[in-house]
Amino acid sequence: SQKIEQNSEALNIQEGKTATLTCNYTNYSPAYLQWYRQDPGRGPVFLLLIRENEKEKRKERLKVTFDTTLKQSLFHITASQPADSATYLCALRFSGGYNKLIFGAGTRLAVHP
């Protein structure tokens, strides 16, 4: 069955450092991969999308890479700030699926001043 894995342990980093979050998947041929941010008690909010034929995507302080050979995406936040503290979810829509969007469990990021 299809499976998405994200680090279940929280990531604690110091303000100003780069946070790197990992998303691994198995048994997928995803058309694209998305990253979302979720704050406690709220719905997820879309951040970035990267297609299977793209290796890297950037948006302001965010960078996403996508390695279809390793079946892995890395999500980077540079110059991190306490306001970046949240849970970050990756999501996959696999090729040929009926618009089925599957999410990982998310990784909680805490940025300390």
Binding part of the chain for another protein, among 16-24, 29-37, 59-67, 71-79 by CB under 8 A, reads 29-37
| CB contact at 8 A, 49 and 69 | no
CA torsion sign, 23 to 56 to 58 to 98?
negative
Nearer to another protein, 19 or 50 (CB): 50
In angstroms, give the least distance from the CB of 98 to another protein.
Answer: 6
Six-digit token string for 6: 């994200």
Q: Rule CB under 8 A: is residue 41 a binding residue for another protein? A: yes
Select from 89, 92, 109, 111 the one that contacts another protein (CB under 8 A): 89
- 30 - beta bridge partners? 94
